[in-house]
Structure 1
Amino acid sequence: MQTQSTTHHAVASREEWLEARKALLAQEKAYTRERDRLTAERLALPWVRIDKDYMFDTPAGRRSLADLFDGRSQLVIYHFMLPPEWEAGCPGCSFLADHLGGTLAHLNHHDVTVTAVSRAPLDRIEAYRRRMGWHFPWASSHDSDFNRDFGVTFTAEDVAAGTAIYNYEPTSATGEMPGLSAFHKDEAGQIFHTYSTYGRGLEEVLGTYMILDRAPFGRNEESTMDWLRRHDEYEDAAPTSCCGSASSQAAA
């Protein structure tokens, strides 16, 4: 986190501030209208029917993708970076997961189920969940193609073959990456993939960032999430990078 001061920041009268604020408000309103337009286009995307059988390990036993809907017609999956060889989840994914708990009652009563999915075995997931104090659903895809099929896990062979695609572009990254995917199940039980987003497309889920963007010094970071810790590590944690970098994986 960078040290900030008022030394180099403009200071104005209340009248000057109000004039500048009204000018910014016009831009904020335009941004809101553009966001609404993009949301409408997102909802208008065509859907892809899922014909492949995916199975997951959960605390309730083996469950299919259809089962993960938990009786609802909409499912949002957070692709949480926790592979079998890590003892703890990615700090950035853990940051996002901290924002999920309070949404569940509202989303569930709006016909939306949210769950995390990781490649780690279930016992590793459950141990980390207990450490973090989370209660949202979380499933293991450790013996499934799910992560690879939805573009969040890559091997060196994938990169060499040119089949490693992250955020709809070729990538040289290997291992785990974060993402979010949405699905619909119709009355006949057919499942459709409706949307996926990756990278900075996840930022709007991060309410902490939305608040920081309105704080006096904004995100106050030299590189993305360089200040971030898992929520139980803030007292004595060393700085760490995040989400897909070698240092993040080593720290995890």
Structure 2
Amino acid sequence: MSPVPHSFSPRRFSQTLVAQALDDALASSASTPVLAISGVQGSGKSTLAAQVVELARSRGLCAAALSIDDTYLTRAQRQRLADRIHPLLATRGPPGTHDMPLALSTLDAAKAGQSFALPRFDKLADERVPELQWSQIERPLDLLVFEGWFLGTPAESDAALQVPLNALEREADAEGTWRRWCNQALADDYPALWQRFDRLWFLQPPSFAVVPQWRWQQEQALQQASPARTSMSRPQVERFVQFYERISRQALRTLPDIADRTIALDAQRRPLEET
């Protein structure tokens, strides 16, 4: 396999921007604020989250980061959904494929200053990491950074779901059962999670067109980190991104008006204000 492109080396955000994110979160009235960082696949969410946690700890604060990806349902749970509702639900990603009680209880424990464990999900194995291997938070947090690809995104209207928007929807969801079920889950189950956020920052790409390349670079990085394990091929990544396309486009339309701060990125994931 070809080496990971140098362009994917996670570009650290400026310390000014990181400090602004941290200070914005700490300015909330919450004793343990939750700073949510939303952005499409490969946009730099985990990099920014790690930098905010790093800066917080350098100030003597107790901080941790969590991804909504770490609260995916197990493979067996998703397969049961696939058998009962639609085959596409076996694939992680869209609304409805997360363990919402786990996500909510984790954020609630953090905000209450309780001890808790940080869930983890192994993307190459496509399976949740055993609970015994989760990191334990033993003391009250001063900050939790929660990142995810569609955090804060509202559901679409029924009318918007009528026409398939990519090959996956045309070929595997011609009747619209899967996309309607995911949209209903987004409408019913996720607002309670969004309400736990004290601040929401959105990393905005120039368009959805950059996402397949960003996600392919991300997959190469995962493979480079674990060379003995199997990763997705480029065609598999191209299809995988289609599972995320509808909600990602909805995020691009809506989040700039919802987020507390929107950071516009160029095609190399650089904040425009820093270029």
TM-score scaled by length of structure 1: 0.28
| Bigger-Rg structure (1/2) | 1
Q: Higher helix share goes to which structure?
A: 2
Between 1 and 2, higher relative CO (CA 8 Å, sep ≥ 6) is seen in 2
